[in-house]
């Protein structure tokens, strides 16, 4: 998939590390393998150091029995095992290693998994090991430079659809692009032959089996508005959803959610719950060069180290398939449409995928990028408060975005939770906001006469759509707790970083220094660091990375 993510890392930083030898790194990594898999692990002497990356920050070891280990070269990191597989080999001379992003992740600490409740192991759901070239691309468009690839999204979605054996046939005329020229396909004329699909096409297969998988890949690619190319084909995540519901007969209750709007514990729990329901997950991630769509279909949790690993089917005939934390989705080597980095930014996953149940419309999604706040922290009760991304004006990206797949018209508003009684109320703006896909509002005003007349409240952003209130997702790197206190004469708002503040000690004293600026790991200014998070401190002509424990 070849397109640029919305956000890139703006500030580089370094952290104090405790380097260890390759032997120590391998020993620590092997010791944290999930116990259920350790019977498959060769002896220590069966591993050979293949690559040392970033002056020993990352080590990659191949096993003579097959498979590889990706280990951290730092004694202090809580996740010494960054990835592993019991199949294939890592060959840096053959395929460019996809570990540059892991080095960035090492510097920024973004792979560290968060401790949570032990959860049941889920064996990989998919049985397929498909790819993007022959025979998968046999029905894809031919352009001047040759036959085009299926695209990573078509391969990932096709593998997931095989587990459902649904639909019997797509519907409607679908449109896509090949060499920037429009192409179309009447999906009603291309029934899907589920019976003749093989799990693998790496060995001999019949003409009917090749025809079945090529037809499926073509139907899916056209349904999701693929942009076809001979080296790589790509589609946008919003088009995955539209294709699934409009052309492939899946229910409109599905949701494409962004990891940015959830804590790591929440995200891991959501993924685990989806897998527990027997649903493999269509997943996408991005880097500086582009993105990739793949499938998460299994889970292992190691309670002794609090490390969570998800099984990834990368869609490259089994190459690099293995277990990874969602914060370090770094395949050791990549295939068709790959890039020089892993896929740890702007991650999205599709939840609740199921055949049509009659749901009338897709759930609208609005997300806030930037901390939630107000223009004026204290105003008279006869004045209308204006709610906004409180850093608006610092960065152009901040605001309330339509992160769904359809244009929507909504009333932006707030959710009020009474701190004494727990009672919940919603208050809407007077103004109707029409948001195209990726459209945004920077702020909205709520009439003073709609605000509460007394009390203390927790305030979060929300919106009203078709008579139903929905909460607005908030980017966890900048999320804040906003409190409203209503006095006899004034609305008073106070804001602090989201969650428990007991971990902030030295950091809070630095807020008043004009020479100091705090940034999240995307390089965006923040008011204060969030507890338990990594953050960047820029001041006194130096940039330093910290963890706010």
Q: Name the band, by pLDDT with cuts 50, 70 and 90, for residue 5.
A: very low
- CB of 456 closer than 8 Å to CB of 483: yes
- Percentage of the chain modeled with pLDDT above 70: 76
Q: For the chain, what is the mean pLDDT?
A: 80
Q: Give the integer Cα–Cα distance in Å for 60 and 332.
A: 8
Closest CA to 110 of 246, 241, 239, 259: 259
Taking the domains of the chain in order of start, what are their residue ranges? Answer: 366-497
SS3 299: strand
CATH architecture entry for 366-497: Sandwich (2.60)
What is the rounded distance in angstroms from the CA atom of residue 119 to the CA atom of residue 272? Answer: 8
Three-class SS state of 37? helix
The CA–CA distances, whole Å, from 492 to 375, 380, 381, 419, 451 equal 12, 9, 9, 15, 12
Interval 476-504 mean pLDDT: 79
Residue 52 has pLDDT above 80, yes or no: no
User: Between 83 and 394, whose confidence is greater?
Assistant: 83
Q: What's the confidence (pLDDT) of residue 23? A: 79
CB 481 within 8 A of CB 499: yes
pTM (predicted TM-score): 0.72
Q: What is the mean pLDDT of residues 481-502?
A: 82
pLDDT value at residue 264:
87
> What pLDDT is attached to residue 63?
83
HSE-CB at 121 with a 13 A cutoff on CA atoms is 10
What is the average pLDDT across 107-111?
A: 39
Cβ pair 385, 297 in contact under 8 A = no
Report pLDDT digits (tens) over 186-222. Answer: 999 999 999 999 999 999 999 999 999 999 999 999 9
Decide which of 123 and 476 is more confident. 123
Highest mean pLDDT out of 158-172, 299-313, 493-507 = 158-172
User: Helical H runs in 115-174?
Assistant: 152-164
Contact between 62 and 305 under an 8 Å Cβ cutoff? The reply is no
Mean pLDDT lowest for which of 166-170, 209-213, 264-268?
264-268
Q: Is the pLDDT of residue 307 over 90?
A: no
At residue 51, the pLDDT reads 75
Q: How confident is the model at residue 119 (pLDDT cuts 50, 70, 90)?
A: confident
């Amino acid at each position: 998939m070849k397109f640029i993510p919305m956000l890139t890392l703006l500030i580089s930083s370094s952290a104090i590390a405790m380097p260890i030898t390759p032997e120590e790194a391998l020993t620590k990594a092997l010791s944290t393998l999930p116990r259920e898999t350790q019977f498959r692990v060769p002896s220590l002497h069966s591993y050979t150091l293949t690559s040392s990356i970033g002056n020993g920050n990352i080590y990659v070891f191949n096993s003579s029995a097959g498979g590889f280990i990706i280990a951290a070269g730092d004694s202090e990191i809580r996740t010494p095992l960054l990835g592993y597989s019991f199949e294939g080999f890592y060959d840096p001379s053959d395929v460019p290693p996809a570990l540059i992003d892991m080095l960035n992740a090492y510097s920024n600490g973004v792979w560290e998994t968060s401790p949570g409740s032990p959860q049941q192991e889920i064996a990989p759901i998919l049985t397929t090991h498909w790819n993007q070239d022959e025979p998968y691309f046999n029905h894809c468009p031919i352009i001047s430079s040759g036959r085009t690839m299926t695209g990573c999204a078509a391969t990932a979605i096709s593998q997931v659809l095989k587990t459902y054996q649904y639909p019997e046939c797509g519907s409607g005329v679908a449109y896509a692009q090949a060499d920037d020229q429009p192409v179309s396909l009447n999906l009603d004329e291309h029934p899907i032959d589920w019976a003749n699909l093989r799990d693998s096409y790496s060995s001999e297969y019949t003409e009917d089996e090749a025809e079945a998988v090529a037809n499926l890949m073509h139907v899916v690619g056209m349904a999701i508005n693929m942009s076809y190319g001979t080296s790589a084909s790509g589609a946008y995540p919003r088009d995955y959803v539209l294709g699934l519901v409009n052309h492939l007969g899946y229910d409109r209750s599905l949701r494409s959610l962004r990891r940015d709007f959830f804590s790591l514990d929440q995200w891991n729990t959501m993924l685990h719950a989806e897998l527990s329901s027997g649903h493999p997950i269509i997943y996408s991630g991005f880097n500086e060069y582009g993105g990739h769509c793949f499938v998460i279909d299994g889970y292992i949790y190691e309670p002794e180290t609090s490390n969570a690993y998800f099984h990834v089917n990368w869609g490259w005939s089994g190459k690099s398939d293995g277990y990874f934390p969602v914060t370090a989705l770094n395949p050791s080597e990549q295939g068709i449409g790959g890039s020089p980095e892993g896929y740890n930014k702007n991650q999205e996953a599709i939840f609740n995928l199921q055949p049509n149940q009659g749901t009338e419309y897709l759930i609208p999604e609005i997300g806030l990028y930037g901390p939630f706040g107000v223009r004026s922290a204290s105003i008279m009760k006869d004045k209308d408060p204006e709610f906004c991304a409180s850093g608006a004006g610092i960065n152009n990206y901040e605001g309330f975005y339509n992160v769904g797949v359809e244009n929507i018209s909504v009333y932006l508003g707030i959710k009020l939770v009474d701190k004494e009684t727990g009672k919940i109320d919603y208050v809407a703006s007077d103004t109707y906001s029409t948001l195209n896909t990726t459209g945004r509002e920077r702020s909205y005003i709520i009439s003073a006469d709609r605000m509460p007349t007394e009390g203390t409240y927790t305030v979060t952003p929300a919106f009203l759509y078709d008579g139903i209130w929905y909460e607005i997702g908030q980017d966890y790197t900048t999320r804040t707790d906003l409190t409203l206190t209503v006095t006899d004469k004034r609305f008073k708002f106070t804001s602090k970083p989201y969650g428990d503040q007991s971990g902030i000690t030295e950091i809070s004293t630095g807020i008043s220094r004009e020479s100091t600026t705090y940034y999240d790991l995307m390089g965006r200014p923040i008011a204060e660091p969030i507890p338990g998070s990594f953050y960047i401190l820029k001041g006194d002509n130096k940039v330093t990375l910290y963890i706010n424990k």
